[in-house]
Amino acid sequence: MEPTLIYDTTFRDGTQGENINFSPREKLKIAKRLDDIGIHYIEGGFAGSNPRDMAFFELARNEHFHTARLAAFGSTRKPGVRVEKDENIKAVIEARTPVAAIVGKSWTLHVEQIMGNTLDENLAMITESVAFLKARDREVIFDAEHFFDGYKSNKPYALETLRAAMAGGGDFLVLCDTNGGTLPFEVETIFQDVRQKLFPDTSQRVKLGIHTHNDCGLALANAIAAVRAGAVMVQGTINGYGERCGNMDITSAIPVLCTKMSRPCIPLENLSKLKNLSRFVSETANMIPLNSRPFVGRSAFAHKGGMHVNAIMKMPEAYEHMKPEVVGNKRRVLVSDLSGKSNIEFKAKELGVSLGENGVDSRKIVDEIKQLEQDGYQFDVAEGSLKILLEKLAGQFNPLFELETFRVTTEKSKDMPNAAHATIKVSVGDHEEITAAEGSGPVSALDNALRKVLENFYPELKSMQLIDFKVRVIDGREGTAARVRVLIESRDQDEIWSTVGVSEDVLEASWQALADSFQYKLSKSIQP
């Protein structure tokens, strides 16, 4: 079976998504990770559109890629301009990549009403641009923009744009669902028709690809439909980043192709690198990872219901469609007011807490957790606090510091921003320390003060940082006296963990979550 080729466009289509940006050196680091996992094509950016993309091409020129071929993206020549004089085409050549990806119009609406062009000139632009690049030893991929809309509007012309690219010597014809509005059964039917019309001779060397957007939540389904109908190239982005609702997510496409469809794709042994790749790209983009992302998300193999947990402890396949380790993920059991004994026993074992000692059993722990959740705690999203709670209930908690007192003040002067100051007194063993710190807010000041005093005893805290802080009002009917829940997410170089605090006072709730976060970090750092 012919392998399905993965074409990554994270650096170009992905960066068209909101808040997604990469520096040239960040792109290079990601490109090396893409190459390591076995991606076949990496689109470096839109040649000539900005200095940053051209800087990446220059950096990448000195790197050796084992699997991936770099592509420079561009558009067909402009109307009425000779191809050798077109600035965009020249930029693609100057990128000096072995692959050129050229986008052209295939929908008459865009050709005539948006561009103000003629249909014949558009066909000439496609053929001449592809031929010019082929003559300069480039592998040429023609992206037929808006192909499915164009096909449904004017089928003969949409097919002519593909023939124009073939006439220029194009290697791949990629059918693009640019607006993301096509349905899977339409994709499969249209692909089959294109193959019949364009390739009556099965020995035809030109190959088909698919490029989908997720505006209907169907980007992956449409790509799979295209593969079933003959596409041998699938274009997408890591984590589905992209304009509007995003592009097809490569981290979902790869395991579907490899494990569900048994189609050769990346090496099977590299599937276990998928979760880390997803996390690396999200962290480089400074985007919070999506927990519910299929295959690689933190919640992809998470179980909460007591009956479910009881079943997976006996046979994981009862509630899991595959082994999480295949894609580098792991099974997680959540603990909440829906939990049963099975959840507690599984979670305690996972977190390294021994139950049954000091007269505390899993049933008593379940009852305690259900009462705390009634009071507003939420342990299914705060496993750091859960570990500490289990240790306390089992008589195994060894606090590595204890609060004596803290004081937080804020000050506002005219047009100046708020200033926050925290003074804190903690004990570490037989030592007591007092220190003060400033912050951009009261919780920031408290965090800075605690970190300042504890780093004298525990230098490993320097690798820890707070990455998310959320406050939720549990019951707003009490007005300003309502209880609030604070969730804090922290990370170091190895792990992300969450902690929770609940109180009528937001600072008290913040302290609970903050202290748990530091206790969790220290306990895992000093464990044998």
Q: Is the pLDDT of residue 338 over 80?
A: no
> What is the DSSP pairing of strand 172-177 with strand 402-411?
unpaired
Q: Which fold has domain 5-266?
A: TIM Barrel (3.20.20)
Tokens of 483: 């209880």
At 359-403, the pLDDT tens digits run 566 777 878 887 888 888 888 778 889 889 888 888 888 899 999
Q: Which fold has domain 408-457?
A: Double Stranded RNA Binding Domain (3.30.160)
Q: Is the pLDDT of residue 175 over 70?
A: yes
At 399-416, the pLDDT tens digits run 999 999 999 998 877 777
Residue 247's closest CA among 219, 268, 218? 219
CA distance 235 to 42: 10
At 240-286, the pLDDT tens digits run 999 999 999 999 999 999 999 999 999 999 999 999 999 899 988 98
pLDDT recorded at residue 234 = 98
pLDDT recorded at residue 240 = 97
**Mean pLDDT along residues 226-234:** 96
Going by pLDDT thresholds of 50, 70 and 90, the confidence category of residue 528 is very low
Q: Is the pLDDT of residue 477 over 60?
A: no
DSSP H stretches of helix in 61-97 = 87-94
Say how many Å lie between the first and final Cα of the chain, rounded.
49
Q: Which residue has the higher pLDDT, 375 or 30?
A: 30
For the ranges 148-152, 337-341, 444-448, the lowest mean pLDDT is seen at 337-341
Q: Is the pLDDT of residue 162 over 60?
A: yes
Residue 279's closest CA among 288, 269, 266? 288
Q: How many CA atoms lie within 13 A of 398 on its CB side?
A: 8
Which residues are within 8 A (CB) of 140 and not within 5 positions of it... i.e. 6 or more apart?
99, 100, 101, 102, 130, 133, 134, 165, 168, 169, 170, 171, 172
Tokens of 385: 């606090």
Q: Is 247 left (phi over 0), alpha (psi -120 to 50) or beta?
A: beta
Give start-end residues of each CATH 3.20.20.70 domain in the chain.
5-266
pLDDT recorded at residue 402 = 92
Residue 112's SS3 state is helix
CA angle 316, 318, 323 (to 5 degrees): 40
CA distance 248 to 225: 13
pLDDT recorded at residue 229 = 95
Distance of CA 506 to the CA centre of its chain: 31
At 293-335, the pLDDT tens digits run 999 998 899 887 767 877 887 888 899 999 999 999 988 877 7
Give start-end residues of each CATH 3.30.160 domain in the chain.
408-457
Mean pLDDT, the chain, whole residue set: 90
pLDDT recorded at residue 479 = 55
Residue type (1 letter), 512: Q
Residue 471 to residues 335, 501, 516, Cα–Cα distance (Å):
21, 10, 16
pLDDT recorded at residue 527 = 58
% of the chain at pLDDT higher than 90 = 65
CA distance 436 to 299: 38
Asked if 484 and 473 touch (Cβ cutoff 8 Å), the reply is yes
Which residues are within 8 A (CB) of 352 and not within 5 positions of it... i.e. 6 or more apart?
527
Q: Which fold has domain 302-374?
A: H-NS DNA Binding Protein (4.10.430)
At 96-142, the pLDDT tens digits run 999 999 999 999 999 999 999 999 999 999 999 999 999 999 999 99
Backbone angles phi, psi at 27, to 5 degrees: -60, -40
pLDDT recorded at residue 363 = 76
**Mean pLDDT along residues 190-204:** 85
% of the chain at pLDDT higher than 70 = 95
**Mean pLDDT along residues 339-362:** 72
Q: Is the pLDDT of residue 341 over 80?
A: no
pLDDT recorded at residue 337 = 54
Q: Is the pLDDT of residue 475 over 80?
A: no
Residue 396 to residues 63, 176, 340, 430, Cα–Cα distance (Å):
52, 58, 22, 20
pLDDT recorded at residue 377 = 86
Backbone angles phi, psi at 77, to 5 degrees: -60, 160
Q: Is the pLDDT of residue 470 over 70?
A: yes
Residue 506's closest CA among 441, 449, 457, 430? 441
For the ranges 378-382, 501-505, 507-511, the lowest mean pLDDT is seen at 378-382
Q: Is the pLDDT of residue 480 over 70?
A: no
CA distance 394 to 358: 6
DSSP H stretches of helix in 21-134 = 24-37, 51-60, 87-94, 108, 119-134
Render 291-302 in DSSP notation, one character per residue.
TT-TTTSTTTTE
pLDDT recorded at residue 418 = 79
Q: Is the pLDDT of residue 169 over 60?
A: yes
> What is the DSSP pairing of strand 465-473 with strand 99-105?
unpaired
**Mean pLDDT along residues 45-59:** 91
CA distance 354 to 347: 10
Query: Which range has the top average pLDDT, 17-26, 456-465, 478-487?
Result: 17-26
Give start-end residues of each CATH 4.10.430.20 domain in the chain.
302-374
